[in-house]
């Protein structure tokens, strides 16, 4: 039986770090991520970067160069209080400004204040958003069924307990998704919390530290494989190498490859 319980390199677990609003403290958080080999995703309201508490607009490309830049609504308005055209405006303006500031196409998002609706999801989808994170903690290690309703494992305040539980679990293919705001570490004087979590996760060779879009793309590639009814032939139509286990053995099917097992 084919099980999709492995990540790139045959790793057994994946971690995503998803931080909102583009606060100035993102720079310090990135320094910690880089020290421990952790990739981060940063959801930015590009219409609010003139505020002192946010990163400077002209430094966006530099600060986030090794990490994912993602959308969060142009002005952080709650999507569940907006009309369809207002939601479209909030997302479109954010995507276009983030492209202008970073030179990168953005396909990820988190909902402002975690608030979403079927209407917001439909608009996001129509604008090419591949995933969008809520603030509803699961608090388990499951993969989102629908990436436009991506419920994270937990807020960063609970990340240490979650990381210990995650690393102790023997179930393959699990995902730990931590969300939060970098400015809270400064406010709560608990930077050492995220340092300890990153150190533990970064030291585990079985952990794939991915940006949210990398995780989403990888899982979508797993779901796009074409498997014959007897599971003897697999075709990978995607551009991404996919890892899985069959009969307990870890196997890789390369991008665009067809294999017989
Ligand atoms: Zn926010």
pLDDT tens per residue, range 190-220: 999 999 999 999 999 999 999 999 999 999 9
Q: Residue 146 carries which DSSP code?
A: S
pLDDT digits (tens, 9 = 90+) for 79-136: 999 999 999 999 999 999 999 999 999 999 999 999 999 999 999 999 999 999 999 9
Domain assignment present for residue 250? The answer is no
Domain assignment present for residue 242? The answer is no
pLDDT at residue 234, rounded to an integer: 98
Domain assignment present for residue 2? The answer is no
Residue 175 belongs to what domain range?
12-220
Q: How far is the CA of 142 from the centre of ligand 1 (A)?
A: 23
Domain assignment present for residue 213? The answer is yes
Domain assignment present for residue 105? The answer is yes
Percent composition of the chain: helix, strand, coil (DSSP 3-state, to 5): 40, 25, 35
Nearest Cα to Cα of residue 71 among 90, 95, 101? 95
pTM of the model: 0.97
Q: How far is the CA of 51 from the centre of ligand 1 (A)?
A: 14
Domain assignment present for residue 235? The answer is no
Domain assignment present for residue 260? The answer is no
Give the CATH number for residue 212.
3.20.20.370
Q: How far is the CA of 176 from the centre of ligand 1 (A)?
A: 20
**Alpha helices (H) along the chain:** 26-35, 60-63, 84-102, 118-126, 159-168, 182-188, 191-203, 212-224
Number of domains into which the chain is organized: 1
Q: How far is the CA of 39 from the centre of ligand 1 (A)?
A: 19
Q: How far is the CA of 113 from the centre of ligand 1 (A)?
A: 5
pLDDT digits (tens, 9 = 90+) for 130-152: 999 999 999 999 999 999 999 99
Domain assignment present for residue 53? The answer is yes
């Amino acid at each position: 039986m084919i099980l999709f319980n492995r990540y790139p390199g045959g790793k057994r677990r994946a971690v995503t770090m998803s931080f909102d609003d583009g606060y100035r403290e993102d720079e310090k958080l990135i320094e910690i991520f880089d020290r421990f080999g952790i990739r981060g995703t940063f959801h930015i309201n590009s219409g609010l970067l003139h505020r002192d508490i946010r990163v400077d607009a002209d430094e966006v490309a530099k600060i986030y160069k090794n990490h994912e830049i993602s959308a969060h609504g142009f002005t952080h308005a709650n999507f569940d209080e907006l009309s369809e055209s207002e939601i479209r405006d909030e997302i479109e303006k954010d995507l276009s400004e983030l492209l202008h500031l970073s030179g990168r196409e953005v396909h990820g998002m988190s909902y402002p204040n975690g608030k979403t609706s079927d209407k917001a999801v439909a608009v996001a989808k129509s604008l090419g958003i591949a995933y969008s994170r809520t603030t509803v903690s699961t608090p388990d290690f499951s993969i989102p069924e629908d990436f436009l309703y991506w419920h994270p494992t937990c807020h960063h305040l609970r990340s240490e307990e979650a990381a210990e539980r995650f690393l102790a679990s023997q179930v393959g293919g699990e995902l730990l998704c931590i969300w939060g705001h970098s400015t809270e570490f400064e406010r709560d004087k608990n930077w050492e919390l995220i340092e300890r979590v990153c150190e533990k996760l970064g030291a585990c060779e079985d952990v794939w530290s991915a940006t949210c879009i990398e995780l989403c793309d990888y899982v979508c590639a797993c779901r796009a494989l074409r498997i014959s009814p007897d599971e003897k032939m697999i075709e990978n139509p995607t551009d991404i190498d996919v890892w899985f286990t069959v009969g307990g053995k870890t196997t890789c099917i390369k991008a665009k490859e067809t294999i017989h097992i």
